[in-house]
Amino acid sequence: MIPSLLLSATLLVATPAPNPVVNEAASVCQQFVQVRLGKTARPEEVKVQPVAKRVGEWLVDGKVKGPEGPLLFACLLKHQGSWELLNFSLWAPQELNSA
């Protein structure tokens, strides 16, 4: 019983709390995607990460279902009290041609 208690305590300590900035960045980027598509579309994939050596800047990228297939998106955001969009891209992936 003691080993299971220790394991439970370790898991509770080792699990980091979710970062609210990550959720906010994903939400802000999702709003730009929705405006560009002209409809509400939930992303199929989303990845949020801080930009190395740029304090307060975040890169959000992922995939969303578009009208004719999957679309990729990327947002570069800056957070200093409020969110500022630095760059936004939405594009259809191209298939690689076999050589």
Domains and CATH numbers, the chain: 18-91 (3.10.450)
Residue 5: its pLDDT value, please? 43
Judged against a pLDDT cut of 70, whether residue 9 lies above it is answered with: no
Greater pLDDT, 13 or 90 = 90
| Helix runs in the chain, H state only | 2-14, 20-37
Confidence band, pLDDT 50/70/90 cuts, at residue 83: very high
Residue 18: its pLDDT value, please? 67
Q: Could you give the angle at the alpha carbon of 21 between the alpha carbons of 82 and 67, nearest 5°?
A: 90
